[in-house]
């Protein structure tokens, strides 16, 4: 029998997530039955929202339970099948979690399993052509309603979602400013990703720099951070500004909510502030994928993937997105495909 290595959540974190919150074990795989297929996970995606799901309280999906296999989106390969729609060698995207193998009937609830078109680069369905890119695209175009001439600000701009969102705004004709946490990341934003300016929040005063770069205010703020950064921006929005709440990574580990002081400026400036979940836009995923792929093929859109290796290193790879060590989309390579 094949042994399946698995990471399970062993306790709920109250601050920075780490190896101590997981247990690494293995179990024997059972035989598949009619209507099922067996996959081997090739690449695993890490997303900040997983940290929210580790809390005891349910959010837009149910909380991860103690001893549950840690959730995560994977690119996987079908290696055995008794399902009419899946053949050996098919590559699939699914929510198969932190493990080597998974058995599926193709009806997963949180992350719907789907086939990956042939000749698609293996990791792209987890990054720019996956939930990351879809979030960035619809967050900027549908919630942010970006248009030519807008001044757009993106926090967490060197991250997987922020970097794509900023480029989408630039391609729509906006002036784009990013906030990131190192000179290296800021240089990549301006020299490679095409942002007009980048602010290193660890070395610069965000408030003063924004006053200089955005004298007429900020039209669209795509926020991945929340907290004090959001409050600073609310004081500098323009008339009819759109605040897009994509994430709040500043509070995910602390569990502390930041008391915003400048929300009244939304009234004065007739601004809107709206949160969104990418699940709402998944029925239109092909619309985003088509646009993003077109820009990639013409060289107008670039992206970064930070690929760590080894299932045994999953907790450390996950932690990277909360400590700023990742350069772009954080992935983990688990295995090579067989076909």
Q: What is the pLDDT of residues 210-258, one digit of tens each?
A: 999 999 999 999 999 999 999 999 999 999 999 999 999 888 776 677 8
Say which CATH architecture domain 3-127+304-333 belongs to: Alpha-Beta Complex (3.90)
Contact between 154 and 161 under an 8 Å Cβ cutoff? The reply is no
* pLDDT of 110 above 80: no
For the entire predicted model, the pTM comes to 0.92
CATH 3.40.50.720 domain extents, the chain: 131-280
Question: Start-end ranges of CATH 3.90.180.10 in the chain?
Answer: 3-127+304-333
- CB count, 10 Å around CB of 285? 18
CB 52 within 8 A of CB 86: no
- The CATH code of domain 131-280 reads 3.40.50.720
- Residue 15 near residue 256, CB atoms below 8 Å: no
Q: For residue 1, what pLDDT band results from cuts at 50, 70 and 90? A: low
């Amino acid at each position: 029998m094949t042994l399946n290595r698995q990471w399970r959540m062993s306790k709920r974190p109250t601050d920075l997530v780490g190896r101590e919150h997981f247990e690494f074990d293995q179990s024997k795989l059972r035989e598949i039955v009619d209507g099922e297929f067996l996959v081997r996970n090739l690449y695993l995606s890490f997303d900040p929202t997983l940290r929210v799901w580790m809390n005891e309280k349910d959010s837009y999906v149910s909380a991860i339970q103690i001893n549950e296999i840690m959730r995560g989106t994977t690119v996987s390969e079908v290696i055995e099948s008794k399902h009419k729609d899946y053949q050996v060698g098919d590559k699939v995207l699914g929510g198969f979690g932190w493990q080597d193998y998974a058995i599926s009937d193709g009806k997963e609830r949180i992350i719907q399993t789907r086939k990956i078109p042939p000749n698609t680069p293996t990791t792209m369905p987890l990054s720019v052509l996956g939930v990351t890119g879809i979030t960035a695209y619809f967050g900027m175009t549908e919630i942010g309603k970006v248009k030519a001439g807008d001044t757009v600000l993106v926090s967490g701009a060197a991250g997987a979602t922020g970097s794509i969102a900023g480029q989408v705004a630039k391609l729509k004709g906006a002036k784009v400013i990013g906030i990131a946490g190192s000179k290296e990341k800021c240089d990549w934003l301006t020299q490679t990703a095409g942002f007009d300016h980048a602010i290193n929040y660890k070395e610069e005063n965000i408030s003063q720099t924004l006053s200089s770069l955005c004298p007429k205010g900020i039209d669209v703020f795509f926020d991945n951070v929340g907290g004090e950064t959001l409050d600073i921006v609310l004081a500098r929005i323009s008339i009819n500004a759109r605040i897009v709440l994509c994430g709040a990574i500043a509070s995910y580990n602390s569990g502390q909510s930041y008391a915003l002081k400048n929300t009244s400026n939304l009234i004065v400036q007739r601004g809107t502030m709206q949160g969104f979940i990418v699940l709402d836009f998944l029925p239109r995923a092909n619309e985003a994928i088509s646009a993003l792929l077109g820009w990639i093929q013409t060289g107008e859109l670039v992206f970064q993937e930070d690929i760590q290796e080894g299932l045994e290193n999953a907790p450390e790879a996950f932690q990277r997105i909360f400590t700023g060590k990742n350069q772009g989309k954080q992935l983990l390579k688990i295995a090579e495909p067989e076909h």
